[in-house]
């Protein structure tokens, strides 16, 4: 049974007596309760919880995102009660069974996000900002070594976290800044058929390099293809190629690798 903190009064008044299930798909440390037509996200107060609250308000009317019903902070926790998006995650069983259509939908979703005018966007999440935050995460032990890709710290990879950070700091790429989701993974994109029905988890959104989104999309696609769709690496590569074909851009392997490595420190 999920142990919940004491709910703020305004949140409790809207959820008391309603049936819910706990979402176990996401990789974050937040607790997400799914009601029939609402979602309650509970997490420690952080820059990410504040970013998400701010961006959901800023994105209203610009993109299909959850509508904020109530947002409160209490006892060090952030409580965000939102409308529940229609459709299903692009990592759902049916989505992975129709993976070519899903890849096309992912490309459509990326293009939708990148079309957002960054004028007056409240948050900057480019490489210099992420390097600063990565350093803070290292100094305060705020990243999860258990979630790191096995090949990152090996005899053929990096010896330790400090060596990885030094590489990322000294090899900052030239950026192509757009409005970015920041964590464009398959569980964060909802579809119905070939249509995008919405995007969730905006805590890392803001102005950033478009390859931030592409790299994490590729990383998530590889993981879901191999672990759940049971594709081999050759078949997975075909889906990656399809993504770039739909985006009408050429793959940049160095940027993909860079942003996947940078994500290790978050």
CA 139 to chain CA centroid, Å, is: 23
Share of the chain above pLDDT 70, in %: 98
Q: Which of 169, 183, 201, 209 is catalytic?
A: 183
pLDDT exceeds 90 at position 1: no
Question: Is residue 42 a contact partner of residue 28, using CB atoms and an 8 Å limit?
Answer: no
Upper half-sphere CA count for residue 118 (Cβ side, 13 Å)? 18
Tell me whether residue 209 is one of the annotated catalytic residues: no
Q: How do residues 199-208 score in pLDDT, each as one tens digit?
A: 999 999 999 9
The packing angle between helices 210-227 and 233-247, to 10°, is 150
Give the chain's end-to-end CA distance (angstroms, integer).
28
pLDDT exceeds 70 at position 165: yes
Share of the chain above pLDDT 90, in %: 86
Distance (Å, rounded) from C-alpha 44 to C-alpha 85? 23
pLDDT exceeds 90 at position 194: no
Q: What is the pTM of this model?
A: 0.94
Query: Which range is most confident: 2-11, 36-45, 224-233?
Result: 36-45
pLDDT value at position 65?
98
Over residues 40-61, the mean pLDDT reads 96
pLDDT exceeds 90 at position 213: yes
Distance (Å, rounded) from C-alpha 158 to C-alpha 140? 20
Q: How do residues 53-63 score in pLDDT, each as one tens digit?
A: 999 999 999 99
pLDDT value at position 141?
86
Question: Is residue 159 a contact partner of residue 192, using CB atoms and an 8 Å limit?
Answer: no
Question: How far is residue 186 from each of residues 28, 78, 161, 191, 210, measured CA to CA in Å?
Answer: 14, 24, 27, 10, 16
């Amino acid at each position: 049974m999920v142990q919940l903190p004491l709910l703020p009064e305004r949140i409790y008044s809207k959820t008391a007596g309603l049936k819910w299930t706990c979402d176990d798909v996401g990789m974050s440390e937040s607790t997400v309760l799914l009601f029939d037509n609402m979602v309650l996200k509970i997490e420690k107060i952080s820059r990410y919880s504040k970013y998400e609250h701010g961006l959901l308000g800023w994105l209203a009317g610009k993109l299909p995102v959850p509508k904020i019903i109530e947002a409160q902070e209490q006892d060090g926790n952030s409580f965000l009660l939102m409308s529940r998006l229609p459709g299903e995650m692009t990592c759902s069983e049916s989505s992975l069974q129709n993976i070519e259509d899903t890849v096309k939908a992912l490309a459509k979703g990326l293009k939708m996000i990148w079309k957002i005018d960054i004028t007056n966007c409240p948050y900057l999440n480019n490489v210099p900002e992420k390097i600063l935050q990565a350093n803070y995460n290292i100094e305060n032990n705020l990243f999860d070594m258990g979630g790191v890709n096995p090949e990152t710290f090996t005899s053929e990879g990096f010896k330790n976290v400090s060596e990885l950070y030094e590489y990322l700091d000294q090899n900052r790429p030239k950026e192509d800044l757009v409005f970015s989701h920041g964590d464009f993974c398959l569980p964060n994109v909802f579809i119905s058929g070939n249509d995008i029905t919405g995007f969730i988890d905006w805590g890392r959104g803001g102005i950033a390099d478009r390859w931030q989104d592409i790299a994490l999309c590729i990383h998530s696609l590889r993981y879901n293809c191999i672990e759940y769709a049971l594709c081999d690496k050759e078949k997975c590569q075909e889906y990656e190629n399809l993504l770039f074909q739909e985006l009408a851009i050429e793959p940049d392997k160095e940027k993909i690798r860079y942003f996947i490595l940078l994500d290790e420190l978050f």
